[in-house]
Structure 1
Amino acid sequence: MTIQTIGVLGAGTMGAGIAITGVLGGYEVVLSDSSAEALSRAEAKLGKYLARQVDKGRMDETNAQAAQARFNLSQDIKGLAAADLVIEAVFEDLSVKREVFAQLEGLVSADCILATNTSALKVGDIAEALSNRDRFCGLHYFSPAEINPVVEVIRGAETSEATVATILPMLAACRKRAIPCKDQSGFALNRFFCPYTNEAVRCLEEGLGTQSQIDAVAMATLGLAIGPFAVMNIVKPNINLAAVRNLSPLGEFYAPAAEFIRVGEAQMLWEIEESPALDANQSAAIADRLRGAIFFAVLDEISEGVAAAADIDMGAQMAFTFAKGPAQMMRELGETEVTRLITLAAGSAAMRVESTLQNLLLEPVEA
């Protein structure tokens, strides 16, 4: 099967960005939402994006007009009936997602691929609403979807090879880098990014530094333009907390920090006020904790077969702008130092990833 028309259900920030991505890839796109206002905002967003590309010389006016013409709007979900692929981008609630997929299954053709853009829910749990689950998968775009190049392709227990084989060329046409991953909580990237933000809060709780000091250490250590507390304020702490809580069944290490729960449940933002620079020892203590949390979570997911080390590194650099991927950092530090760091972050649980670390360090690195 070849994808010619992409349907997107939900015209919020993510849905609009996904629809724009499809248009830029040369596909006919139908964006559906019950809100005329949301559809109008999405159309304006595309217009601004295309105008900017023309102004910067990345696209000529003819191609911009052609892209705009491929962008179709529908206030009725029935407008998605002729799509070859429908990507759901509605509210992150299991019952809501199951309800819309039950609707979609009765609406689209038997060959149409159905995908969820969930960032936290398991694909298999959503798939329970469907009778035909082999054509269903997860496509987790990262924000902003029209710019961020990474998409996690989550294969559920019943997702067919044919479904994945059809999806990958579409993503390539849209200039996206696909990360194939197992249907496990956090998938490939949030699996370590959420523990990283959670560890930052634990450092705050323990008085190792203020929000701004911890952000500064994270930026210097990982080569980031923005630290964990600033990121959480953009995403919103309550949303980040929900993602962290989604990992809790994986063990004590993944449990949200008490201060994270307090701020998230109150729907507050982190107070990031300028603070004096920390001395070298204080900075090193925070850097060790942050790296240890990232490394342990990455080794944990590799041991479970969630994703390949090379894909995790690529995603860390391209989706989160890490200067180096976690696996590369671990190879450079060596077994003794990484073991020290993951023990700092995860305690006795670090023992369960020792063999994974050893195997990682023995793997040949692709040129």
Structure 2
Amino acid sequence: MSITRIGIVGAGTMGGGIATATAQAGVDVVLIDARAGAAAAALEQARSFYARAVEKKRLAPAEAEAAGARLKVAAALEGLAECDLVIEAVFEDMALKNEVLGKIAAVVRADALIATNTSCLRVSELARAVTYPERFLGLHYFSPAQVNPIVEVVRGEHTGEAAIETALAFTRRTGKQPLACKDQWGFCINRFFCPYTNEAARLVDEGVAAPGAIDQIAKEALGVAAGPFMVMNIVKPRINLHAIRNLAPLGPFYAPARSMTVTGDAEASWTIEPAGAVDPDTARLVGDRLRAGAFLPVLEELDEGVATPAEVDHGAREALKFGRPPCALMDELGRAEVERLVAPLCKQYGHALPTSLERVGSLVQG
């Protein structure tokens, strides 16, 4: 099936960004949001995005006009009836998503694909709300979806091969880089990114270092363009906390840190003071903990077959801007050093040492 028109339910940051990118790529988009004026506001933001692209010579005026014309707002879900694909992009809450997905399934064609943009929830559990679940899958775009190239294409337990192939072709045609992965809480990328940010918060709770120093050390330890606290402030700590809470079934290591809970529940942002000089011993400790916080979940997802080492690293580079992606970095450090880093976390939280440790040294090349 060729996808020529998509619907997006939820016109917030993610839904609006997906709409902007998709219309620019030549596909008609119908945008719906239950909040008064939200879809119209997203449409205006998309047109402003195109206008800035014209100013920067990244888009021709005629291309910007055509992209804006492909965006439409519908007043009710019935406006999705002729869409080939509908993407649910509402708040990351299982009950809300189930309710919305059930309503979508009731109005679209039987052969239309239905996707969820969930960042952490299992697709197979959300599929229960959808008739003909073989046409249901995860399409997790990364923020900002207007420009971030990665989309996780998640196969649920009942997702059909035809749905996956159609989704892969659609994401490529719309200028994205699909990352196929198995259905699991957190999928491929948030599976390790959320625990990495959570380990940063634990370091604050323990009084090891302040957010500014941790952000500075992270740039060296993992080659990130921005440290964990700056990134959390961009995506909003409340949203990051919600994603972490959705990883709870994976075990005690994934439980949110105290300051993560306090900051997220208060809908506050982290205070990031300039770091200044950092004591070398503190820098080594923080670097070790941040690496361990990313390495342990990566090794666990490799054990589970969620994604390959190459896919993990590709997502880390392209979606998160990790200059030293986790699998390549583990290979560089070697098995003994990686075990030294992750073993304390396994002992503290009661997790078994991942069997993928045995592959360290040849993860990427193997």
Partners of 1:265 and 1:68 lie apart in 2 by 37
- Structure 1 segment 21-100 matched on structure 2, within 5 A: 21-100=21-100
Kept in 1, the 8 Å contact 2:195–2:254? The answer is yes
Task: Tell me how many residue pairs correspond in the alignment.
Answer: 365
Partner of 1:292: 292
Q: Percent identity?
A: 46
Partners of 1:166 and 1:125 lie apart in 2 by 22
Kept in 1, the 8 Å contact 2:253–2:351? The answer is no
Q: In structure 2, do the counterparts of structure 1 residues 285 and 89 end up closer, same or farther at CA, with 3 Å as the change threshold?
A: same
- Judge which range, 296-305 or 356-365, deviates more: 356-365
Q: Residue 136 of structure 1 aligns to which amino acid in structure 2?
A: F
TM superposition shift of 1:350: 6.5
Partner of 1:256: 256
- Structure 1 segment 215-364 matched on structure 2, within 5 A: 215-347=215-347, 351-353=352-354, 355-363=355-363
Partner of 2:206: 206
Partner of 2:166: 166
Consecutive unaligned residues of structure 2, counting only runs of 5 or more, are: none
3-state SS of paired residue (1:97): helix
Partners of 2:122 and 2:274 lie apart in 1 by 39
Q: In structure 2, do the counterparts of structure 1 residues 83 and 145 end up closer, same or farther at CA, with 3 Å as the change threshold?
A: same
Partners of 1:66 and 1:232 lie apart in 2 by 34
TM superposition shift of 1:73: 1.4
Kept in 2, the 8 Å contact 1:36–1:75? The answer is no
Partners of 1:30 and 1:264 lie apart in 2 by 32
Partners of 1:34 and 1:255 lie apart in 2 by 32
Kept in 1, the 8 Å contact 2:346–2:353? The answer is no
Q: Residue 238 of structure 1 aligns to which amino acid in structure 2?
A: R
Partner of 1:126: 126
3-state SS of paired residue (2:353): helix
3-state SS of paired residue (2:11): coil
Partners of 1:24 and 1:44 lie apart in 2 by 14
TM superposition shift of 1:80: 0.8
Runs of 4+ in 1 over 6 A off after TM superposition: none
3-state SS of paired residue (1:361): coil
Kept in 1, the 8 Å contact 2:310–2:364? The answer is no
- Judge which range, 6-15 or 296-305, deviates more: 6-15
Q: Residue 353 of structure 2 aligns to which amino acid in structure 1?
A: R
Partners of 1:334 and 1:226 lie apart in 2 by 26
- Judge which range, 260-269 or 221-230, deviates more: 260-269
- Judge which range, 355-364 or 120-129, deviates more: 355-364
Partners of 1:205 and 1:295 lie apart in 2 by 21
Q: Residue 280 of structure 2 aligns to which amino acid in structure 1?
A: A
TM superposition shift of 1:235: 2.4
Q: Is 2:116 aligned against 1:116?
A: yes
Q: In structure 2, do the counterparts of structure 1 residues 57 and 233 end up closer, same or farther at CA, with 3 Å as the change threshold?
A: closer
Kept in 2, the 8 Å contact 1:293–1:346? The answer is no
Partners of 2:23 and 2:117 lie apart in 1 by 17
Partners of 1:283 and 1:250 lie apart in 2 by 29
Partners of 2:311 and 2:167 lie apart in 1 by 17
Q: Residue 108 of structure 2 aligns to which amino acid in structure 1?
A: V
Kept in 1, the 8 Å contact 2:309–2:363? The answer is no
3-state SS of paired residue (2:107): coil
3-state SS of paired residue (2:120): coil
TM superposition shift of 1:323: 0.3
Partner of 1:101: 101
TM superposition shift of 1:312: 0.8
TM superposition shift of 1:273: 2.2
- Superposition RMSD in Å: 1.7
Deviation track 1:77-117 (CA, whole Å, cap 9, x = no partner) reads 11111000000111222222112221221211111000011
- Judge which range, 248-257 or 194-203, deviates more: 248-257
Partners of 1:63 and 1:266 lie apart in 2 by 42
Kept in 2, the 8 Å contact 1:5–1:28? The answer is yes
